[in-house]
């Protein structure tokens, strides 16, 4: 038997998730802005050393952007779970997610058992 989180407790969680989305979107813009490949002032006549630095910087930006996108997806999933009334319930097994786990990472949508199976 699963129980749900009381609605009065969901409101602050929802606000937190929405603020986190705004924060991560800003981070995403900053990463894109700082990607050396997208810099309009970069020279196409770089030395090998400068070109290597740009490639490394671009790779780092891509890795960071990928992480940010995953975070945004997870935050949006958690908000959707609130909207459909299933927040705190594991999206895989349907059991209640431990409240301590949710307190640490409110965007989590799977229980610890299912998360361990993924690893």
- pLDDT tens digits for range 8-64: 889 999 999 999 999 999 999 999 988 888 776 666 667 778 778 888 989 999 999
Residue 1, pLDDT score: 45
> What are the angstrom distances between the C-alpha of 97 and each of 61, 80, 90, 107?
33, 16, 6, 11
When divided into structural domains, the chain yields a total of 1
Range of the domain at 94: 9-37+48-118
In this predicted structure, which of 3-7, 55-59, 91-95, 111-115 has the lowest mean pLDDT?
3-7
Say if 42 falls within a structural domain: no
What CATH number should be reported for the domain holding residue 101? 1.20.120.910
Say if 4 falls within a structural domain: no
Say if 74 falls within a structural domain: yes
Question: Do 110 and 92 meet the contact criterion of CB atoms below 8 Å apart?
Answer: yes
Query: What is the reported pTM?
Result: 0.81
Find, among 109, 111, 30, the residue nearest to 73 by Cα: 109
């Amino acid at each position: 038997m699963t129980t749900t989180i009381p609605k009065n407790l969901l409101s602050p969680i929802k606000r937190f998730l929405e603020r986190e989305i705004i924060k991560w979107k800003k981070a995403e813009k900053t990463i894109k802005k700082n990607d050396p490949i997208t810099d309009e002032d970069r020279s196409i006549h770089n030395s090998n050393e400068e070109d290597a630095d740009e490639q490394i910087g671009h790779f780092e930006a891509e890795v960071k952007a990928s992480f940010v996108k995953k975070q945004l997806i997870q935050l949006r999933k958690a908000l959707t779970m609130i909207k459909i009334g299933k927040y705190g319930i594991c999206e895989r097994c349907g059991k209640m997610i431990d409240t301590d786990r949710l307190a640490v990472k409110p965007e989590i949508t799977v229980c610890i058992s299912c998360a361990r199976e993924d690893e």
